Structures are given as C-alpha cells and as structure tokens.
Structure 1
Amino acid sequence: MSENGAVDGAQPAQQPQVQMNILGQFVRDLSFENIMAQKGATGEVNPDISVQVNLDAKKRQAENQYEVMIKLNVESKAKEGGEQFFLLEIEYMGVFRIAGVPEEQLHPFLLIECPRMLFPYLRRIVSDVTRDGGYPPLNLENIDFLQIYRAELARRQAAKAETPTTA
C-alpha cells in the first residue's frame, strides 16, 4: 500500500474535474429611492449605511444549469436623527453551468462560490447607482459568503431544534 492509500500498482481514484461557467448575468430587479433628493435637503451629511444580503439558488430545466441570486438591501440614514437618505434594493442573477461537483457539495458551492464570482459586477452596479443618485459612490466591502452560509445553516438548525415534534 502506498502513502496516499492506494493499493500498490493501482491509481488513486480521480475526482471529477469541477467545471463552472457563467452563462449569463443580469439585474432582475432594481429600485433606488432617493429620499433626500425628494425632500430637497442639502448640506453635509454623516451617513450610517446598512447592507442586508440574501442568497438563493435553484436548478434550471437544462442539464447542469443553475440560477443564483444575490439580493441586496442597502439603506443609508443620518447617524444623528435617523433621517433616511436613500434605499437601494437589487436582485442580481447569474446563470451557471456547473459539472463535476459532488451532489453533497453542490448546495454550498452554489451559495458560496457562485455569489463570489458575481459580486464584483454587483459591487460596480451599486457604486454607479449611488453615484448617479448624487451621493459619493458606495464601494461595498467584500462579502464573506462562506460566513453567510454557515450562519444560515446555524439559524436553520436552531429553528429546527425549537420546533416541537408532534407524536
């Protein structure tokens, strides 16, 4: 027996080569409410910006194709007084062809790796929309999709533990 666990003379089992292609990406929904411009307010502002991220993925009809959605809700309010400046909601979609990923690893792959590939494009759109709305461009920090995935798994397990079972 060799170091890698293969029987001498036998080749170790080959993992299938992971293949991922972005077939398309697009904005499915975009809303930018410029509340400060509607009120006609001007002057120096000290914003507090909150970003909420939701992810979704689903299988498409075609073989090995999946849709992955990143939904962002970005809200900007004044640090003092809480007056709202703007609200940005965007759903950004990617269509992927994925092959060679084992079934048990597909769900995390879709919700971690695919959003990671889409994020730079989404970041650019958010920057452009906020700049075009009359604000300094909002350059989003990198999003840790692995941490979001783990937090969602923990939330689901906690909710499952709290749900009473019926006999």
Structure 2
Amino acid sequence: MTETDPKGNGTQPAAATPPKVNMRILAQFMRDLSFENVAAQKKLQGSNVQPDIQVQVSLDANKRETENQYEIGTKFKITSKNKSDGQTLFIIELDYVGLFQIEGVPQEQLHPFLLIECPRMIFPFARRIISDVTRDGGFPPLNLDTVDFLALYKQELQRQAALQAQKGDAPVAN
C-alpha cells in the first residue's frame, strides 16, 4: 500500500498499522482451593504471634480447542509462620483460572502477553478470595501486594535458560 506525498513528489510506503488487540475474559473460576488453619489444630494462642508470610506464585497457559481461546492458571501457595518459634499458622493453596479470548496479538508476543497481561487482569479476584478465606478462617484478612507478573515472567525465562545451559554442559551418555 502506498500513499501520495502531499507535495506531489510521488508515493511513499504507508506505515504499517499494528493490529488491534482484543482481549476478553470469558470466565474465571477456582480450580482448587485449600486452607489449613494449623494454629487452631495445634491450639496456638497468645499475643506473641507475629506472622511471617511467604507467597509463591506460578503461572500456566494453555491453548484451548476453540480458536483464539486460552486458559491461564495462577497458582498461589501462601504459608504463614510465627516469627518467634517458626510454627506454621496457616497454609493456603489457590489455583485460579481465567479463560480468555485473545485476537490481534502477534505470535512472537503471545507468550509474554498470556503470562503477564492475562494474570494481571484476574489477580484482583484471586486476591479477594485469599483475603476472604483468611478472614473466614479466623485470621486478619490477608491483602496480598500486587504481583509483578513482568518480573515473574523474566525470572522464569532466566530459570529456563539456566536449565538449558546445564543440559548443554551435561556429558552425553553413550
């Protein structure tokens, strides 16, 4: 496609317009939820409880059979331990899934889009579930800080590159 130069000097190639990205959340749901109130089971009480919260987040993306649809899973494992004695207070495991319709994302940008933007869209809903479960479990509501999905994605790429480097250094068996 060409455009005519306004000064009448011939034609120039038109700037390529990027495709319009269209993303819709079709559904979201809890695939799995587990809450274990260890403190109540062990009858831990007292005002000397100072929680130390550890949060692990993992991501997964799968193409669905329907064209342009993807299933994005965010898994949270949260462990709260007492700082003074290391006793576990509670453990939460949440597998939260979003089903997305995505169009207009170039193929080379699709993987980071699925593992950065999609989890970012459904994170507030998972955070609310975690807050409600801890509150209903007898603890103050746990309001997770916002997860930096870009940093998490980069960290995973580095981990995979390190694994590939290890495999490359490994001796080949005959």
What range describes the TM-score normalised by the shorter chain of this pair? Answer: over 0.9
Say whether 1:35 aligns with 2:41: no
Residue 11 of structure 1 deviates from its aligned partner by 2.4
* Counterpart selection for 1:20 from 20, 23, 31: 23
Which AA in structure 2 matches 1:79?
Answer: K
* Counterpart selection for 1:101 from 98, 105, 128: 105
In the alignment, which residue of structure 1 is the partner of 2:126? 122
Within 2, Cα distance between the matches of 1:117 and 1:158? 29
The residue correspondences of 1:1-20 to structure 2 (distance < 5 A) are 8-20=11-23
In the alignment, which residue of structure 1 is the partner of 2:80? 76
1:10-66: CA deviations, max 9, x gaps? Answer: 421111100000000000000000011112222221000000000000000101000
Normalization by structure 1: what TM-score? 0.93
Within 1, Cα distance between the matches of 2:32 and 2:142? 19
Instruction: Give the count of matched residue pairs.
Output: 163
Consecutive unaligned residues of structure 2, counting only runs of 5 or more, are none
Normalization by structure 2: what TM-score? 0.89
Q: Percent identity?
A: 56
C-alpha distance 24-37 of structure 1, shift in aligned 2 (>3 A): same
Within 1, Cα distance between the matches of 2:89 and 2:135? 13
1:112-149: CA deviations, max 9, x gaps? Answer: 00000010001100000000000000000010000000
Say whether 1:63 aligns with 2:67: yes
RMSD (CA atoms): 1.7
Residue 9 of structure 1 deviates from its aligned partner by 4.4
Within 2, Cα distance between the matches of 1:104 and 1:28? 29
Which AA in structure 2 matches 1:67?
Answer: E
Which AA in structure 2 matches 1:53?
Answer: V
Consecutive unaligned residues of structure 1, counting only runs of 5 or more, are none
Which deviates the most, 115-124 or 40-49? 40-49
Which AA in structure 1 matches 2:73?
Answer: M
Residue 153 of structure 1 deviates from its aligned partner by 0.4
C-alpha distance 118-165 of structure 1, shift in aligned 2 (>3 A): farther
Which AA in structure 2 matches 1:88?
Answer: I
C-alpha distance 85-147 of structure 1, shift in aligned 2 (>3 A): same
